[in-house]
Amino acid sequence: MIVMTSTLHQIRICAILGLSLVLTGCPNRAARAPNPMSFRWPERFAYRIHRTGGSDSGGAEARDDERSMMRLQWREERYQVWSDSVVKRRMVNGRPAVPAPIWPEDTVRFLIRLGRFGEFGRPEATCDPVVPACADALRWSLPIQLRRLIPRLPVWEAPRGAAWADTIWFNDIKRSRGARGSVITRYRSARDTTVGGGAYWVVEWRSVRQSVRRAGGRGGITVDSAATEIGAVLVDKERLIPVRAVWERVGGVREGGTAALAGSAFDAALQ
């Protein structure tokens, strides 16, 4: 058995989950009810997402802020997924924020299979691959983003204290900003909590992303250092769908984000 988080980490996750609403009894409440056995996906739903980041390079301190709506709609036995209302801004050395680049994958629509246990199929762009913007879109960015919002559930119910893992293998190295590698996400059995009188499961996770990418112009590759993230997701016990997610990078570059199911009580906090 793998011990996923310490008590301090549990308190930290509960603190960031409760920025907008109060979580009742989160830090030490053991799971008394079964883990969520499967999700119940509607024909269409959406998540409001807010990402932040920062970096220090050559004496310049940059801060990034990104807001978007990720929409999912059932189509031809798969979900069509796309980003809507994408706004990216960057502030350098405290100067007024300016628009940041919008990448092809921010505008391209993808088709992806989404299973009832949170498993993903191979993403497929719906645009013409001959078009440069379509050909350069990083399709594997989609499942990596979705994994922060949608936890992978075990096929069999995990006993209290158990842990399980999910791996996403990706390969976009032929694209100009692409890489290949894996994201291994480890989970622990869910815990119960209440928010505003509603009942939820808290699913905590820790992921490690390892990848290699092309060295600019020389045809070689360079190994990226492993990036570790921690996060948690609230799953609505009645609706059986994730409604709130938070995550942050551990060490190094300051990065993190929050997401809320559109139309939920958590949605108002991100508008």
pLDDT tens track for 72-111: 999 989 999 999 999 999 998 888 999 999 999 999 999 9
CA-CA-CA-CA dihedral for 73, 43, 68, 241, to nearest 10: -140
Query: Do 196 and 203 contact (CB within 8 A), yes or no?
Result: no
Q: Is 124 inside any structural domain? A: yes
Residue 37: pLDDT band with limits 50, 70, 90: confident
Give the phi and the psi of residue 143 in degrees, each rounded to 5.
Answer: -60, -30
The count of domains in the chain is 1
- Three-state secondary-structure class, residue 149: helix
Q: Is 100 inside any structural domain? A: yes
**Structure tokens of 125?**
């762009």
Q: Is 201 inside any structural domain? A: yes
Which residues form the domain of 112? 7-270
Q: Give this prediction's pTM.
A: 0.85
Nearest to 118 by CA among 240, 14, 264, 259: 240
Query: Do 253 and 57 contact (CB within 8 A), yes or no?
Result: no
Q: Is 1 inside any structural domain? A: no
Q: Is 22 inside any structural domain? A: yes
Least confident of 49-63, 66-80, 92-106, 230-244: 49-63
Q: Is 241 inside any structural domain? A: yes
Rounded to whole angstroms, the Cα distance separating 119 from 13 reads: 24
Q: Is 242 inside any structural domain? A: yes
CA-CA-CA-CA dihedral for 232, 238, 240, 246, to nearest 10: -20
Q: Is 2 inside any structural domain? A: no
23-24 and 241-249 beta bridge pairing: unpaired
Q: What is the mean pLDDT of residues 198-204?
A: 94
Distant-in-sequence, close-in-space partners of 57: CB < 8 Å, separation ≥ 6: none
pLDDT given at position 218: 53
Rounded to whole angstroms, the Cα distance separating 264 from 271 reads: 12
